[in-house]
A and B are shown apart, each in its own frame.
Chain A
């Protein structure tokens, strides 16, 4: 059971480049979400999805897009990378969006230069 898998683990981008962070879970979880972690800020929610075909914005959605075409996958797209998007990104999932433990992936370290 792989749990929540994120790729890549490390990435360096130039300002203005685009990229996609991949997230996959094999637990048949309905709820998936993306967080970013910055020093002294804790984790902040970027986007989330309560099921295939349904996505919504979290606390810090600007500069990011998501889609949920399947239950298993929830990719996060950076449209035009900026240095302010240098962060550690965590994907998370749970069976339902409430009353269940939320499981986190191992993180993706992104640096924008």
Chain B
């Protein structure tokens, strides 16, 4: 069975600081990788995804992630965060077969202080 580990459950940063959220997964085969964001009181929105090709993926709102296959990692980065980035961030994977749905990490609650 696949699993996803997010390194930090709570992160507090000041505006303009750089962000890196860690995500490691465990699965023996080929996977698709996702980062979702959930703003307070809202549903999940896709930030970015990796299926194949260039391991550096750019998403919405200035976010990017790098897939490092040898480390089973898919860390999320943003060079300069804004107060509006305060949200819950979820890393998720599904297998290439994919029928068993997404496996989510437990989430990282990011708070940006003005």
Contacts and interface: CB of A to CB of B under 8 A. Distances in A.
Contacts of A40: 9, 106-107
A107 B107 CA distance: 17
Nearest to B41: A107
A101 B49 contact: yes
Given A50-B99, A97-B98, A42 B90 contact: yes
A104 B90 contact: no
B74 interface: no
Nearest to A41: B106
B12 interface: no
A22 to B, nearest CB: 16
Q: Which of B32, B44, B51, B92 has the most CB of A within 10 A?
A: B44
Contacts of A107: 43
B105 A42 contact: yes
A99 interface: yes
B51 A99 contact: yes
Contacts of A105: 43
Given A90-B44, A98-B95, A105-B43, A58 B101 contact: yes
A61 B4 CA distance: 20
Interface in A26-71: 31, 33, 35, 40-45, 48, 50, 56, 58
Given A40-B9, A42-B107, A90-B44, A102 B51 contact: no
Nearest to B105: A42
Contact of A98 (B45, B97, B106): B97
Interface of B: 4, 9, 32, 34, 36, 42-46, 49, 51, 90, 92, 94-107
29 contacts: A31-B98, A31-B99, A33-B102, A35-B104, A40-B106, A42-B105, A43-B90, A43-B92, A45-B100, A48-B99, A48-B100, A48-B101, A90-B43, A90-B44, A92-B101, A92-B102, A96-B98, A98-B32, A98-B94, A98-B97, A99-B32, A99-B96, A99-B98, A102-B46, A102-B102, A104-B44, A105-B43, A106-B42, A106-B43
